[in-house]
Amino acid sequence: MTERLRMGDETSGISQTDQMAVSSVDKVLANHIYEYKKGVRRMILFTCNRRFEQMACHRLYRQSIDYVVQPAGKENVNVYFGRRECLDAIRLFVTRPLNELTPEEDFILGAMLGYDICAQCERYCERKGKCKKCQHAQ
């Protein structure tokens, strides 16, 4: 069974390397939560090792932040959190690994996550094979 670490658990039983990993994951998550609460982004995608899933979900739950967890390979999970409307959409169209999303789904997800819209447009065109950069290469 996978070891689960939670906020507030005793860390004396884990290695110093694992303690540093927990600290790093916690700092990244704390920054994401800060940005969400300040309104910088409406939705966040936080990818972490499965052993930090419980810790992340517990922290989001304690702060009354809605979230969705999806597998991301064998060792990782994607934790989406933010506005309920955004998460409802994620449940509808992100139903497979992110690298298997259609160009349209990938574009929508990037826009929802607040990525630069011009970069998303360029990425969409590249994935469709119909951008100026792509045409010059052919």
Which domain range does residue 84 map to?
A: 1-95
pLDDT exceeds cutoff 80 at 131:
no
Chain-wide mean pLDDT for the chain?
86
Structural domains counted in the chain: 2
Please state, as a whole number, how many other Cβ atoms lie within 10 Å of the Cβ of residue 73.
11
Q: Which of 3-17, 28-42, 60-74 has the lowest mean pLDDT?
A: 3-17
Q: Which of 7-21, 70-84, 120-134 has the lowest mean pLDDT?
A: 7-21
One domain for residues 116 and 90: no
Q: Give the pLDDT confidence of 26-61 residue by residue, as tens digits.
A: 999 999 999 999 999 999 999 999 999 999 999 999
pLDDT exceeds cutoff 80 at 91:
yes
One domain for residues 69 and 33: yes
One domain for residues 55 and 83: yes
One domain for residues 5 and 72: yes
One domain for residues 17 and 54: yes
pLDDT exceeds cutoff 70 at 138:
no
One domain for residues 119 and 85: no
pLDDT exceeds cutoff 80 at 72:
yes
One domain for residues 1 and 61: yes
One domain for residues 86 and 124: no
One domain for residues 112 and 52: no
